[in-house]
Every structure is written in structure tokens, then in C-alpha cells.
Structure 1
Amino acid sequence: MSDEAQGIFDRIESEERELVFPGFDLSDAWTLGTRMRAAAETASLPIVIGITLGDARVFHTALPGSSADNDGWLERKTRVARRYGRSSYGVGQSFRAAGKDFDVDARLDPGLYAAHGGVFPLTIAGVGVVGTVGVSGLPQADDHAFVVAQLRAYLAEL
């Protein structure tokens, strides 16, 4: 693995350890989701935003320039984050770090699962993963970075 790839891999793992909530409920989903939408509107980002708790989608919005294709990507990345309990970008990077191709080596239907950046697990301290928050519409590293920045800002105010 190149030094750059190792740096990305290490940063993602650090983010996954760092971005843990003391609790997260429907009210938090609404607040986080609307904040994310406002930030995306300000930056004119053509994304969809989704938040799940358990199997329920509890927040969803689409901004100008996004499409139904972005909804499909969001759902596929959400399945990865839920299945592996970590960010969709982290899953993809872990496969690449091992010299593997997620679409082949995960033995999951690539029409249903995408290990590309943009969906992050909602983890509660002492409980574990309870849902996901994600976006789709930008290059995968940018999708991931947007979600991480929004989670950091939200957690900083708790």
C-alpha cells in the first residue's frame, strides 16, 4: 500500500473511533439532517442526504442537481455501512488495502452494495451502531469528507 493510501486508511479509522454519540434519536436525526441540508445548500452541493435508525429511513432530502441515481448510490452505500458497522469509505479502503476488489471479493451483489465513500455509521458509546448518515452526489472522498465535517460540527455542540 502506498504511503498516501495508508494515510487515507489511517485517517478513516481514526474518524470512525472519534465520531461517537452519547445518544441519538429521531430529534437528533431531524436536527442533524436539516443542518446538513443547510450546509449543502450554502455550498450548492448536488447531493441527497439520508439518515437511518435501525431499518427505518428517518430523514431524506434531495438538493438541486441530484437525481434518482444518487438515491440508488446512497442506498447501496448505506447497506455496506450497516452490514460492516463502519463507514462505506472505510470498507472500500480496507478491501483496497488488502489488494482486493470489494465488488468481487465481498461476494455481495454489487447492485445492492457499494463500498464507496459517503455513508457513516451512527454509533452510540456503550451501545454500538444504531443507524447511518450519508450523502451521495459528489466524488466519494468528498461525500465522505462532507459527512465527517457535519458529524464533527454536530458533536462539538453536544
Structure 2
Amino acid sequence: MKKENELFKELLAEEERLQFASFTNETALQVGLAIAHKALAANQSVTVDIRRGGHQLFHFACPGTSADNDDWALRKARVVERFQHSSYYMEAELSASGRTIAERYFLDPSEYAPYNGAFPIRVRGAGVIGVIAVSGLSGDQDHRLITTVLQELLEQSNGGS
């Protein structure tokens, strides 16, 4: 349980730290391109999807992906929209409970995928306004790709602080 508690704390701290002052369509483009370029440079096959509300602002599928990745990204994004936390946080929460999303929340797993790879777009003072989803990598690497790029971009926009 100690390991799980540390993971929960880490994931919640990321959500708190990786917030935007504002988030526009141009921000979505910048974030989406940064994630896509990082994946392509590492020869990774991922799909990147960024949404605000029901509006898709960015979508890119690297070579080697398929429509399955589109579906996974959407299903993970629904988890963030529903619970206002990263899909990785919800994956860990469900794992700790020993229950599936259907058992615990009565949600259809064909519509909701509580697995790492979708991260809430939080705007300071406004809360969660959208979601960034990545699908295609194993383990926690979808989540790590998103958070690494967000950390880099937010540091740049804050003058390297």
C-alpha cells in the first residue's frame, strides 16, 4: 500500500504542477506538435489527441499506428473527462481497489479505458478544461511522454523556472 500511496501522491503532484495559465487552440497545436515530434524523434508510434470539451483541437497519428490507437485515446480521454484526473491515476486507483471500472463505477469498458495515457488540461483558476491523450506505448510510457513534454513547455513559457 505504501508504494501505491507514493504513486498517488506523485500523480496528483504532477496534475497540480503541470497547469497552464491559459489554453488556446494555438496552445493545443504547440503541445500536440511537441509530443508528436518527441515521439517521431524516438521512433515511437503513437497517436496524439487533444480535446477541449467535446471539441477535438489536435490529432496526429505517427506511422505504425492504427484506428485502434484512435479508439484507445478516446476511451482514455473519457476517463479524464469523467473523473478530472489522469487516466494513470484512475488505473492506479482501480488497481488498488482490486476492481474494474465496470465493477466500481458501473462504466462500460468499451467506452472508458482506465489505463495510463490521458492527462487533464488544467488552467489555473478554471480547473480541468480538456484532455491530452496518447496511445501506442507500453507500460507507463504514454503518460510519461505527455508529462515530459508538458514539463518542458511549461518551463519554457515560465522563462526556464
Same fold (TM > 0.5): yes
Worse-matched range after superposition: 22-31 or 92-101: 92-101
Following superposition, the deviation at residue 93 of structure 1 comes to 1.0
Q: Distance in 2 between matches of 1:136 and 1:104?
A: 24
Q: Distance in 2 between matches of 1:4 and 1:129?
A: 27
Q: Given residue 100 of structure 1, which amino acid in structure 2 is its aligned partner?
A: R
Secondary structure at the counterpart of residue 9 of structure 2: helix
State the match for 1:7 in structure 2: 6
Worse-matched range after superposition: 7-16 or 35-44: 7-16
Following superposition, the deviation at residue 85 of structure 1 comes to 0.8
Q: List per-residue Cα deviations over 1:117-149 (Å, max 9, x = no partner).
A: 000010000001111111000124111111110
Q: Distance in 2 between matches of 1:49 and 1:34?
A: 9
Name stretches of at least 5 consecutive residues in structure 2 with no aligned partner: none
Q: How does 1:108-127 map to 2 (within 5 A)?
A: 108-127=107-126
Q: How does 1:25-104 map to 2 (within 5 A)?
A: 25-104=24-103
Contact 2:49–2:56 (CA under 8 A) maintained in structure 1: yes
State the match for 1:137 in structure 2: 136
Q: Distance in 1 between matches of 2:149 and 2:27?
A: 13
Contact 1:47–1:63 (CA under 8 A) maintained in structure 2: yes
Quote the RMSD (CA, aligned, Å).
1.2
Q: Distance in 1 between matches of 2:99 and 2:48?
A: 29
Q: Distance in 2 between matches of 1:147 and 1:74?
A: 13
Q: Distance in 2 between matches of 1:8 and 1:69?
A: 28
State the match for 1:155 in structure 2: 154
Contact 1:116–1:140 (CA under 8 A) maintained in structure 2: no
Q: List per-residue Cα deviations over 1:75-125 (Å, max 9, x = no partner).
A: 000000011111011112112223332242221011000100000010000
Give me the TM-score of the superposition, normalised by structure 2: 0.93
Q: Distance in 2 between matches of 1:55 and 1:115?
A: 19
Secondary structure at the counterpart of residue 157 of structure 1: helix
